[in-house]
A and B are shown apart, each in its own frame.
Chain A
Amino acid sequence: CPPRGPGRAAMCSGGTLSILRSDSYADLSQYRDQHFRGTRYDQERLLRKSCTLYVGNLSFYTTEEQIHELFGKSGDIKKVIMGLDKVKKTACGFCFVEYYARGDAENAMRYINGTRLDDRIIRTDWDAGFKEGRQYGRGRSGGQVRDEYRQDYDAGRGGYGKTVQCQ
């Protein structure tokens, strides 16, 4: 594990304690976008200073307004970009939320990630930054990859997975 720097300067000579530095909800996850153009190093550098979050497991019916209301609780939102089905151009269950300040995004990771929106537990993760094209699902049918192969029935995400539907 990479050696940490001195951390945020505490004013007293004692500094702080590593158990109090723990911020697991705001740390980078294991996920790395495979479509990222650049080195792993570049990607992680961007993730560490990003103000943008990926939000997943949304219902297809969740609106930008609902997302704005919920994520607005951790700070001022610069932009919400809804994830779209590449073919249908309709919402396909994910979005990006960009804050003006990273601290606000961190608070969203700490307190909004893993709670409910439209009765679904949503998941947030750091994103290296929105680029045109990234608002589209990468599944073969146009939605997200996870909706291609899943076997369960999810009323908020188009019912059965695409491969199941095609059977």
Chain B
Amino acid sequence: MSRRRHSDDSDAGQPHKRRRTSEPSEIEERLESLICRVGEKSNSSLESNLEGLAGVLEADLPNYKSKILRILCTVARLLPEKLTVYTTLVGLLNARNYNFGGEFVEAMIRQLKECLKVNMYNEAVHLVRFLSDLVNCHVIAAPSMVAMFENFVSVTQEEDVPQVRCDWYMFAFLSSLPWVGKELYEKKDAEMDRLLSQTESYLKRRQKIHVPMLQVWTADKPHPQEEYLDCLWSQIQKLKKDRWQERHILRPYLAFDSILCEALQHNLPPFTPPPHTEDSVYPMPRVIFRMFDYTDDPEGPVMPGSHSVERFVIEENLHCIIKSHWKERKTCAAQLLSYPGNNKIPLNYHIVEVIFAELFQLPSPPHIEVMYTTLLIELCKLQPGSLPQVLAQATEMLYMRLDTMNTTCVDRFINWFSHHLSNFQFRWSWEDWSDCLTQDLEKPKPKFVREVLEKCMRLSYHQRIIDIVPASFSVLSPANPVCIYKYGDESNRSLPGYTVALCLTIAIKNKASNDEIFSILKDVPNPNQDDDDDEGFTFNPLKIEVFVQTLLHLAAKSFSHSFSALAKFHEVFKTLAESDEGKLHVLRVVYEVWKNHPQMIAVLVDKMIRTQIVDCAAVANWIFSSELAHDFTRFYIWEILHSTIRKMNKHVLKIHKELEETKARLARQHKRRDSDDDDDDDNRSSDREDGPLEEQIERLQEKVESAQSEQKNLFLVIFQRFIMLLTEHLVRCETGGIDVFTPWYKSCIERLQQIFLQHHQIIQQYMVTLENLLFTAELDHHILAVFQQFCALQA
């Protein structure tokens, strides 16, 4: 017989209390679960499930109306891939309960206004689309929807507003038309024609300077990289030409037409778009990524054309599925593969295209890069007979088009492909790519293969890579990542500092202290000065060379060994690298020792920044120095630079956060005091209390300002160096009469673009300085164009 548990006793004691507190949230959970799950795979048809659910909800309306309203509004906002399922549900509810329909529409408008107020524009589009599909469900009267769209389109007439604001309202209108265009045109064709003609004139006059910066390929063949509004407009024009016949979207409400057309409709209240404010941040423009067309899958169902509205709807829905399930890779893969219309569209191709569209999206992918690698692996697991082939085909196509692919996108391609291969024993038909062997190593294809092999090596080991590629590819194989110690051989004993290096080696092996190291280093002459300071601690490149070479060589065994070495001799490092030249020289020596092992260079630079042996500006200057010119176009250099910028950005954010938290603590302290104090006598004691916090705030304020200044300086240094480098090249080409557009130039100018794109939010703060100081009208137009494209992104 089982022991009665304590909880059973309390249950018997207070049954009502327990049930009362758990019931409402249980019911809400149940309602949410019922609503969210409708439309999933089921034994019954979707129609009968919807009908059943409508009945359940109708019955629950008296008690749980506000909860049901909230849940329905939320699914409208967050599950746009199931748009028509939920509009049908709302339609059925409206048919049974007119007041509820009205309240739902009001709630949706309130939610839409809220979203626009807090810059949640992507979710606002889903709400607008939902409202428009409610016209099809006889919940909203068509004329009132047209009126709302008229207000949207009239935003394009506003003066002195950013183009991206007008773009959003235009997009919200156009992107709803696949769902509701037919119905609106049938009811209000004159008004719709007017709206469409206003759309056309807006699209003709809007500027598109930003487009080149966002394109994945610079070439228009085989697929043009269209600006998103242009592409959508072409799709809507074609839809109109087809008399608004749209056959892809699943419309469950059609089955309920007899019920729904009996329902009374509601009019949308007049909707005034909230005005533009300083705090408004609109979505960035996009370029539509296309890599497949109907010729790529000749066996299977035909892929809808690039200007067909079906293509738009499929892509929107697949993107929404990824957005909903990005944290759950198995669910995400399953949901993608169960997208309806499986046998009418080449779904695998659409999925692969949409995933690469996100992976290559500029400025940044919507989700962390590694997610896409793992998602594709999950998809391969679920469809082992078909998806891997599509992926291989895609890889081949991407390789073929490397010559015109944006450098940032090539980086992502390299990362994805090498990581993907590492999950499949590095099996690939490398011989298919032997065409790259005859090309100049700086050309995109051989460069890509080299970088891929280097990344593959980092995930395995050197010999493995030698083994997996054909012998002919050895010219592209990565170097064996061994350390180069200049004082290693007896034959180097004539090098200055050789004996000190030997001395140091013995001392370090015998666990010498920092002080002992200093005294050994004192004997190193300074090649820069004839009469040395007595201090001996001014910039002495030879001292740095001997110490850093020796230490790194001794600690070469692993990252951990090297990190320990940096930590143990931190004091020596700090002293030797006190000056800017010192910092630069440390970095130079690190490179000399580890140039075969870029990964080691990267982690050492990271550690040295974090332990303040070098600063971010030093790293930036080092990257642009002539010593690194040979490696300037290699991927690892830019990984290091962007990692450095990110560390700087995180540092600023961290101190800022500390400042805000301390301010909040002070505010709370005030509040506590105000509520405790009835008599306001002792002002001095409250000042005393505030003292330490106020001091802290002042210190932190200074820290923030200093960090922000360092951050701005870092960007200015980087931009300055780019301008110098590019100008030099342009002048040389002009005077020599040679073509500007070398592989190096393409890489360099796109790396400049990458700085703007990857850190655009921070850089926006410096626009005035950049315009007045660096990107002035005297600059060569090639370089100025990059700046102008960047400005156009949020204009």
Interface residues of chain A, those whose CB is within 8 Å of chain B, are 3, 11-20, 22-26, 63-66, 68-70, 73-74, 76, 80-82, 107, 110-112, 115-119
Contacts and interface: CB of A to CB of B under 8 A. Distances in A.
Given A11-B120, A25-B329, A111 B560 contact: no
A76 B74 contact: no
A155 to B, nearest CB: 15
A22 B33 CA distance: 13
Q: Which 3 A-B pairs have the closest CB atoms?
A: A14-B74, A69-B458, A73-B370
Given A70-B459, A115-B423, A14 B111 contact: yes
A73 B558 contact: no
A130 B71 CA distance: 43
A107 B36 contact: no
A19 B324 CA distance: 9
B559 A17 contact: no
A68 B597 CA distance: 14
Contacts of B33: 18-19
Interface string B388-426: 000000000000000000000000000100010011010
A39 B75 CA distance: 41
22 contacts: A13-B111, A16-B74, A17-B71, A18-B29, A20-B78, A20-B79, A20-B324, A20-B325, A22-B331, A23-B327, A25-B327, A66-B458, A68-B559, A69-B459, A74-B368, A74-B370, A76-B643, A76-B647, A80-B559, A107-B370, A111-B373, A112-B370
Contacts of A74: 368, 370
Contacts of B114: 11-13
B75 A17 contact: yes
B23 to A, nearest CB: 13
A24 B331 CA distance: 10
Contact of A66 (B29, B425, B460, B643): B460
Interface string B324-360: 1101110100000000000000000000000000000
Contacts of B25: 3
B70 A111 contact: no
Contacts of A111: 329, 368, 370-371, 373-374
A116 B328 contact: no
Nearest to B29: A18
Chain B contact residues: helix, strand, loop or mixed: helix
Given A26-B327, A63-B461, A14 B73 contact: yes
A115 B600 CA distance: 24
A112 B369 CA distance: 12
Contacts of B600: 65
B118 interface: yes
A81 B560 CA distance: 8
A124 B542 CA distance: 46
A116 B422 contact: yes
Given A17-B36, A18-B33, A63-B558, 15 more contacts: A3-B25, A14-B73, A17-B74, A19-B33, A19-B37, A25-B327, A65-B599, A66-B461, A69-B599, A73-B419, A76-B643, A76-B646, A80-B559, A111-B374, A112-B374
Interface residues on B, range: 35 or more
Interface of B: 25, 29, 32-33, 36-37, 70-71, 73-75, 77-79, 110-111, 114-115, 118, 120, 123, 324-325, 327-329, 331, 368-371, 373-374, 377, 415, 419, 422-423, 425, 455, 458-461, 558-560, 599-600, 603, 606, 643, 646-647
Contacts, number: 115
Contacts of A15: 70, 74
A54 to B, nearest CB: 17
A89 B560 CA distance: 15
B603 A18 contact: no
A98 to B, nearest CB: 12
Given A12-B118, A80-B560, A115 B74 contact: no
Contact of A17 (B32, B373, B458): B32
B369 A73 contact: yes
Contacts of B118: 11-12
A64 B79 contact: no
Contacts of A117: 422, 459
A112 B370 CA distance: 8
Given A18-B32, A69-B458, A111-B373, A25 B328 contact: yes
A106 to B, nearest CB: 9
Contacts of B110: 13
Contact of B425 (A22, A63, A69, A119): A119
Nearest to B328: A22
B619 to A, nearest CB: 15
Contacts of B331: 22
Give the interface centre of A14, A66, A76 by most chain B CB atoms within 10 Å: A14
Nearest to A116: B423
Nearest to A100: B650
A118 to B, nearest CB: 7
A16 B325 CA distance: 13
A141 B328 CA distance: 39
Nearest to A15: B74
A160 B667 CA distance: 64
Contact of B559 (A18, A26, A64): A64
Contacts of A66: 458-461
B329 A110 contact: yes
Given A74-B368, A76-B606, A65 B558 contact: yes
A26 B647 CA distance: 25
Contacts of A81: 560
A92 B599 CA distance: 24
A11 B647 CA distance: 28
Contacts of A11: 114, 118, 120
Given A14-B73, A18-B29, A110 B120 contact: no
A11 B116 CA distance: 11
Nearest to B112: A12
A71 to B, nearest CB: 10
B559 A12 contact: no
A107 B123 contact: no
B460 A12 contact: no
B603 A68 contact: yes
B640 to A, nearest CB: 13
A64 B329 contact: no
Contact of B77 (A12, A22, A112): A12
Nearest to B114: A12
Give the interface centre of A12, A17, A22, A68 by most chain B CB atoms within 10 Å: A12
Nearest to B558: A64
Contact of B120 (A3, A12, A23, A68): A12
Contacts of A118: 460
